[in-house]
């Protein structure tokens, strides 16, 4: 699976739950490679994607994609958020409820708000 990450769209996304499951049932540094790992419905549900030929034969272009637009964003729990694209700037403040959210959530919210501003609402 790991060898397919760059060539199969969404491979990393569909591999991660399987990795987490396996690591919760087997420790590679201290347990034998022959240890049996239980196959649960949870694991099966994540393996189904890999067994679908349509998913693993899509492939990805080997051609390098050029970046046409670069946006930069930032967020803080106290001051709000901001983003810029070229010389254009957008910024805002958080509500009292938003200020209590984890910084990772606020960073993602800043990305979303910036993209919406420059690409959907202008």
Q: Using one digit for the tens of pLDDT, what is the confidence trace for 71-121?
A: 999 999 988 999 999 999 999 999 999 999 999 999 999 999 999 999 886
The helix-helix angle for 41-51 and 11-25 (nearest 10°) equals 150
pTM: 0.51
CA pair distance 84, 75, nearest whole angstrom: 12
Please say if the pLDDT value at position 10 is more than 80: yes
Q: What's residue 121's pLDDT?
A: 64
CA pair distance 22, 45, nearest whole angstrom: 14
For the chain, the structural domain boundaries read 2-58, 71-121
Q: What's residue 24's pLDDT?
A: 92
For 25-57, b/e burial (b = at least 16 CB within 10 A) is: eeeeeeeeeeeeeeeeeebeebeebbeeeeebe
Q: What's residue 62's pLDDT?
A: 76
CA pair distance 82, 74, nearest whole angstrom: 6
Q: What's residue 67's pLDDT?
A: 74
Interval 27-36 mean pLDDT:
87
């Amino acid at each position: 699976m790991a060898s397919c990450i760059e060539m199969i769209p969404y491979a990393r996304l569909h591999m991660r739950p399987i990795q987490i499951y396996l690591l919760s049932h087997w420790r590679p540094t201290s347990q034998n490679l022959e240890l049996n790992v239980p196959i649960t419905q949870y694991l099966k549900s994540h393996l189904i994607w890999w067994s679908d030929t349509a998913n693993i034969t899509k492939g990805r272009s080997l051609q390098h994609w050029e970046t046409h637009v670069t946006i930069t964003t930032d967020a803080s729990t106290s001051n709000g958020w901001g983003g810029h694209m070229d010389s254009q700037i957008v910024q805002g403040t958080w509500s009292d409820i938003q200020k209590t959210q984890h910084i990772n959530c606020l960073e993602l919210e800043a990305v979303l708000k910036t993209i919406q501003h420059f690409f959907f609402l202008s």
